[in-house]
Copies of this chain bind each other. A is one copy, B any other.
């Protein structure tokens, strides 16, 4: 089993680059084209493919369409993923209004909030009461949730949705959540992203 997160991120990048190349009319691609496109080495591209049993043609490179098919299958993109958002505040609303996920086969189907003032059943993405979340998850077979509630509420919200059948959570609250058995929690911590950027800005500055 591949546990290398960076490797999987590269697969996503290859896939995105391939769509761009395809849109430009290209039919085949070489490992060094892909390396250029995502900022890696040709050797790593081939190694990544080799790990997943993807092969091309000696001297002929890779057929973009069949390569995309394989990558999409590995990345689970051969099906639509329904996602819910917990917390319809600033971040939650921005995500619910974002139309860019659809083209990736990711559809935000509903938001949930504890504040009655946030509830709106007639939105393009309806915002429902948190009390309905359990039954919504079960009856719609939802497996993925984005957590965008205040820090203080994040753990209890995570517990609630995981016990309702959610298998993967993308958490925006800047704290480490205890994850329930069988549920993966990934974090998007923007404070830390900025701190990281600042660190590397400072060291490159000093080195120069």
Contacts and interface: CB of A to CB of B under 8 A. Distances in A.
Copies of this chain, tallied across the complex: 2
Interface stretch (A8-16, A22-30, A157-165): A8-16
B101 A194 contact: yes
Contact of A176 (B38, B83, B91, B208): B38
Interface residues of A, number: 61
Given A93-B90, A94-B94, A188 B199 contact: no
Contact of A197 (B1, B16, B170): B170
Interface in A167-208: 167-170, 174-176, 182, 184, 186, 188, 190-205, 207-208
A197 B77 CA distance: 12
Contact of A93 (B13, B74, B94, B204): B94
Interface in A77-94: 77, 81, 83, 90-91, 93-94
Given A39-B176, A98-B90, A75 B144 contact: no
A190 B90 CA distance: 16
In the complex, which of the residues A94, A95, A182, A201 has the most CB atoms of chain B within 10 Å of its own CB atom?
A201
Given A8-B200, A16-B174, 10 more contacts: A8-B199, A12-B191, A12-B195, A39-B176, A94-B94, A101-B190, A167-B205, A186-B193, A186-B196, A188-B190
